[in-house]
Amino acid sequence: MSLYERWCDATREKDKRKYYWTYVEKHGGRDEIQGDLAETIRSHYDRLERIAEDVDRLGYKVAAEILSEAMPQTSKGRSGDLGEILATELVEEEIGLRVPVRRLRYKDGRNMAMRGDDFIGAGYDSKGEKLWLLKGEAKSNKVLGKATVTSARKVLNRDSGRCTPDSLLFVANRLLESNDPDEYALGRSLRDEVGLKSLRADRIDHMLFTISGNGPHASLKQDLEATGTNRDQYVVNIHVKDHQDFIAAMYQEAEDLGDD
């Protein structure tokens, strides 16, 4: 079972190309996924095999120090990053597109927010021929309100609803550094798209992802109702009542690699 299946109960509504998904933690769900989610958090900041190599060479304590240097230490930074991490995992589990670059590995500073699109999903159509993209905004708030939702939608709509060129080029260039032929081919397709801008709107989906302590604010559904139907539109909320305590606990576990 996927992380979300074990962690949450989901309610999904669909109207044409509009998807409204809400998730609430199951009883015992957090305990079920806590270890796996901690490992997932680590994997967004560094390759797991590299962390394991650090443990082999230097021991758990020093390896944990190295990992900690990549992770934000402020509550705001952790909140924002975890929103992106959980959004990425949802896209790959539920939509079938990949988020091919873990961009948090490339931050300028561990407490700094990255510019550009929060996450980009990429893949091909059912025939494996035509490029398909998803542009995403992730918001993590103790109390989610209309201003945050409006701001996120504004970002999704900029650049005519396309992935911002700098964000798409960043993903493309990372993939072009790969020795894997499939990764390289996807990177080439993305780089071509930066220049050609040939994708129609109906192959650039949008996702507004939120995780909040107050659950799905009414503005989320209102926002979705106001969107067009020329692309798939996903509006998602993860309701975690103890939002800030949850984030703090998950980062504490992610930084704890064990002991000698």
pLDDT digits (tens, 9 = 90+) for 142-159: 999 999 999 999 999 999
Tell me the pLDDT of the chain averaged across its residues.
Answer: 94
- pLDDT (average), residues 13-31: 96
Q: Computed over its alpha carbons, how large is the radius of gyration of the chain?
A: 18
Is 105 in contact with 116 (CB distance < 8 Å)? no
pTM beyond 0.85: yes
How far apart are alpha carbons 260 and 197 in whole angstroms?
53
How far apart are alpha carbons 76 and 72 in whole angstroms?
9
What is residue 259's predicted lDDT score, i.e. its pLDDT? 66
What is residue 111's predicted lDDT score, i.e. its pLDDT? 67
Place of tokens 């959980």: 86
What is residue 21's predicted lDDT score, i.e. its pLDDT? 98
pLDDT digits (tens, 9 = 90+) for 37-90: 999 999 999 999 999 999 999 999 999 999 999 999 999 999 999 999 999 999
Q: How many helices (H) and strands (E) does the chain have?
A: 10, 6
What is residue 224's predicted lDDT score, i.e. its pLDDT? 97
Give 15's Cβ-side CA count (13 Å radius).
9
Is 216 in contact with 143 (CB distance < 8 Å)? no
What is residue 129's predicted lDDT score, i.e. its pLDDT? 81
Q: Which of 26-35, 59-68, 104-113, 147-156 has the lowest mean pLDDT?
A: 104-113
What is residue 115's predicted lDDT score, i.e. its pLDDT? 80
What is residue 260's predicted lDDT score, i.e. its pLDDT? 47
pLDDT digits (tens, 9 = 90+) for 205-237: 999 999 999 989 999 999 999 999 999 999 999
- pLDDT (average), residues 117-138: 92
* pLDDT surpasses 90 at 108: no
How far apart are alpha carbons 77 and 217 in whole angstroms?
23
